[in-house]
Structure 1
């Protein structure tokens, strides 16, 4: 009986400590006056560098709106895509806004708010024949395929394209250049990224699918131990959606190519 009481006491102490730590997280962010948002800076049109070396993009705008709503100074922390969630887990960033798909595997370890955007897998290629495929198996042959390391595009390729020569890269700029320079035949990426490549390089004969091969929700990743923080961010995102702001941002970054002139 004494042993059982001891175990219960330890469990209560640990639970209380975790709860207090979670409650302290949001208050520490507010006290610091800063919101640290993790992103890659290499996922156009979600985030990318302008000519003045400043970050721009859909996710950058969203991060700015969120920080402004919370009355905090925005600090953008650039990390490779594969290091974003580890950076969230170790406290390097407060949340992640980087074109990240909400998946069951990620949700087991990380809380998500959203989706703030619905995307899907597409391909970028120079082949008009390949651009007419409707099934992943139609391109599952001995071809050179490139995609982003640590992304759902990598998992998609590894699951459906088992017969291809798959190359993983750290950012989509590298992947796009490999298609343009005929070093790879197909790039697997989210539809907006493929569409961006076509807009930026209109003379390179790049083509994409008419419609995505999958439907994927894009969300904001947050620590899974702070319900108050998650609730706060969720309320802000719902408000932006209800006010039509997210729709206007989609038109700005996914439909109107004027911002391409700002890029390096």
Structure 2
């Protein structure tokens, strides 16, 4: 009985300690008055640079709305996609908003809020034959495929496209250029990214799938040891969704091409 009481005491102390740590993290953000959000800046239409070298996009708008709702100054920290989650775990950013798919392997190490958007894997190609694909096996042949390094698109290609020549690049602008210049046959990416390429280059004979090959939830990545922070962000995102703001943002960035005039 004495041993049991000791174990219970330890469990209570650990719980209190964990709660205090969570409160300290959130308090630190509030005290600093700054919210640091990790983003690539190279994932159109989620994030990209305009003519004035300023970040714009769906995720940029979402980051601004979140920071404003929390009454905090927004600082966008740009980095390659593969560095986002490591930077989050090291405390270099407070959260990540960068077109990131919620997967079990990521969720084991990282907390997620959302999804704030439902996406799926698609392709960008100049081949009318390949554009009729309905599943990965339809494009699993001796062709050149390009996709983003460290992304779920890379994992998708490595798992299902075992016969292709796979090239990994640092951002999707590079991948799109390879399709435009006939240096690759297919780009694997989330559907919005493929749709963006079609909007930006309407006269280059590029095509995408009629519907994605997968269904994937896109969410916000947060520290996995800060339940209070996760709960706070979740409440704000739910409010944005219920108010219809997220739906308006989807129409702006995924259906209306006028923002393309802001790009270089």
TM-score bracket, normalised by the shorter chain, equals over 0.9
**Structure 1 residue 155: Cα displacement:** 0.6
Q: Summarize deviations over 1:86-140 as a string: whole Å, max 9, x none.
A: 0110001000000000011111111111000000000000011110111110110
Cα distance in 1 for partners of 2:8, 2:144 equals 57
Q: Could you tell me which residue of structure 1 aligns to residue 202 of structure 2?
A: 202
Q: CA deviation at 1:173?
A: 0.5
Counterpart Cα distance in 1 of 2:227 and 2:191:
32
Which residue of the partner structure matches residue 97 of structure 2? 97
CA shift digits 1:35-90 (9 cap, x unpaired) = 00101000000000001010000000000000000000000000110110001100
Determine the structure 2 residue equivalent to 1:222.
222
* TM-aligned CA deviation for residue 2 of structure 1: 10
Structure-1 residue corresponding to 2:177:
177
CA distance in 2, matches of 1:24, 1:32: 12
User: Which residue does 2:129 correspond to in 1?
Assistant: 129
Q: Which residue number in structure 2 is paired with residue 120 of structure 1?
A: 120
- Counterpart of 2:28 in structure 1 is 28
CA–CA separation in structure 2 for the residues paired with 1:216 and 1:25:
30
- What SS does the aligned partner of 1:219 have? strand
In 2, Cα distance between equivalents of 1:165 and 1:13: 54
Q: In the alignment, what sits opposite 1:160?
A: 160
SS in 2 for 1:229: helix
1:235 is paired with a residue whose SS is: helix
Counterpart for residue 252 of structure 1: 252
State the 1:21 CA deviation. 1.7
Q: Distance in 2 between matches of 1:49 and 1:3?
A: 61
Once the 2 structures are TM-superposed, how far is the Cα of residue 15 of structure 1 from its aligned partner? 5.0
Task: Please report the RMSD computed on the Cα atoms of aligned residues, expressed in angstroms.
Answer: 1.7
Q: Which residue of 2 aligns with 1:19?
A: 19
TM-score of the superposition, structure 2-length normalised?
Answer: 0.95
How far off its partner does 1:12 sit?
A: 6.2
Q: Find the counterpart in structure 2 of residue 189 from structure 1.
A: 189
How many residues end up aligned between the 2 structures?
A: 264
Give the aligned partner of residue 233 of structure 2: 233
1:4: Cα distance to partner?
A: 9.3
| Structure 1 Cα separation of the partners of residues 79 and 141 of structure 2 | 33
CA distance in 2: counterparts of 1:3 and 1:54, whole angstroms: 61
2:37 aligned with 1:37: yes
How far apart, CA to CA, are the structure 1 residues paired with 2:20 and 2:6?
21
What is the CA-CA distance between 1:19 and the residue it aligns to? 3.1
Say which SS state the counterpart of residue 182 (structure 2) adopts.
coil
User: SS of the residue aligned with 1:175?
Assistant: helix
4+ runs of 1 displaced by more than 4 Å? 1-16
Say which SS state the counterpart of residue 188 (structure 2) adopts.
strand
Deviations 1:3-53 (A, max 9, x none): 999888777665544332222111100000000010100000000000101
Aligned match of 2:144: 144
Q: Secondary structure at the match of 2:38?
A: strand
Deviation of 1:206 (Å)? 0.7
| Structure 2 unaligned regions, length at least 5 | none
Give, in whole Å, the separation in 2 of the partners of 1:242 and 1:28: 29
How many Å separate the matches in 2 of 1:198 and 1:253? Answer: 13
- Could you report, residue by residue, the CA deviation over 1:179-200 in whole angstroms, capped at 9, with x for unpaired residues? 1111100000000000000110
